[in-house]
Amino acid sequence: MRRPCRRSEQARARAARRKAERPRVPAPPLWLRWLPVGYLAAVLAIEPVTPVDWPVSFLLIALPLVAAYAYGPAAVAAVTVFAIVFEGVLAGTPCCAGRSVGYLWDRHYVANYVCTTLVGVLGTILAVHRMRRERTLATVRSVAETAQRVLLRPVPRRLGQVSVETLYLSAAAEARIGGDLYEAVPTAFGVRLLVGDVRGKGLVAVETAATMLGAFREAAHDEPDLRGVARRMERSMSRHAAQLPGGEAAERFVTAVFAEIPEHEPVVRIVNCGHPPPLIIKEGGVAELHASDPSPPINLGVLIGDGYQLDVEPFRPGDQLLLYTDGVTETRDADGVFYPLADRVAPWVGLAPRELLDRLHEDLLAYSGGHLDDDIAALAAYRLPGDSRP
């Protein structure tokens, strides 16, 4: 008995693996798949009521193009054949009084058949082009989602006595990733949080965000003081910006807010570098934590040297901290009014972090009418009930 070639088995295995890893192209919406049927039904409804000299069967010429929006080239070719045959059927049906089978080969109908064939060829080509573009877009989205999982990896939901949840929304549906960033790291000094917003868009912004996150993940463990973390970030971003061409270095900065929640102290320490003020949500209401002496964004630290301001605020069990990017507060309604975050969050006191961010997500979409113009990142940190004193 002849044994199968091992090389052939490996080739089949590789082919199967490539097929499994190929990004899945989403199916067209249901209404688009039914559009050719609806178009055909409309032609059939119009045909019996038109005058004999005004046959509307020529409208079937467009049927292959209608099908090309939702189906592949094989299906479009089949629809083309169907349209040609059906044109002949309509030309010789009793409902078309005064027409005979001889009309099937009248020069007008022959012209219809030729036009339908040409349009069918065009529709088949368009279907091939559309499917290639959809596969390319699916691949781009897959790569972007992979990059997002690496760059904005999921944070643990429980870090000591702190429960953490995150939200990320990209304004670019094709990319699903932008320059907003967040991170939460458990350290010997407490849980350290970061939310930032890179100036600009595109690949340079993503690269800058990756540099920022990599530097924070190291500095958060090494620096005993939160201001030292900000200084480390400034040095890292300055080195990164120095590698950018021309005048881009001076324009490549990151607004960021750093927070530290020590395990055995009922406080939160904050260093704000040109970022929107965090919210603290507690039983008594919602308050914005404005910096007493705001620091400039990261990579503009030469303006102040090493003088980063550290603010300490009470943060007791049951309190919740909300860090966010300006995409939240710069969301506009139909009248151009900015989203009033503190006022909208006030009724949600008592919600768990995940519920809070889900409610925020839904409210932003409702407020903007479903049109978000900027990327959005948010992080909610809730101190779990318990004694946080030494």
From first to last of the 390 residues of the chain, give the pLDDT tens digit: 455 555 566 566 565 555 555 566 777 888 888 998 998 888 888 877 776 556 677 788 889 999 998 899 999 999 999 988 887 776 655 444 444 444 444 566 677 788 889 999 999 999 999 988 888 877 776 766 666 666 777 888 999 999 999 998 876 554 455 678 899 999 999 999 999 998 776 667 777 888 889 899 999 999 999 999 999 988 888 887 777 665 555 557 889 999 999 998 999 999 999 999 999 999 888 999 998 888 888 888 666 566 788 999 999 999 999 999 999 999 999 898 999 999 999 999 989 999 999 999 999 999 988 888 778 899 999 999 875 554
pTM of the model: 0.68
Q: What is the per-residue pLDDT for 101?
A: 45
Q: What is the per-residue pLDDT for 238?
A: 83
Q: What is the per-residue pLDDT for 99?
A: 45
**Residues with Cβ within 8 Å of residue 96, at least 6 apart in sequence:** 47, 52, 55, 90
Q: What is the per-residue pLDDT for 18?
A: 56
Domains and CATH numbers, the chain: 6-146 (no CATH), 155-383 (3.60.40.10)
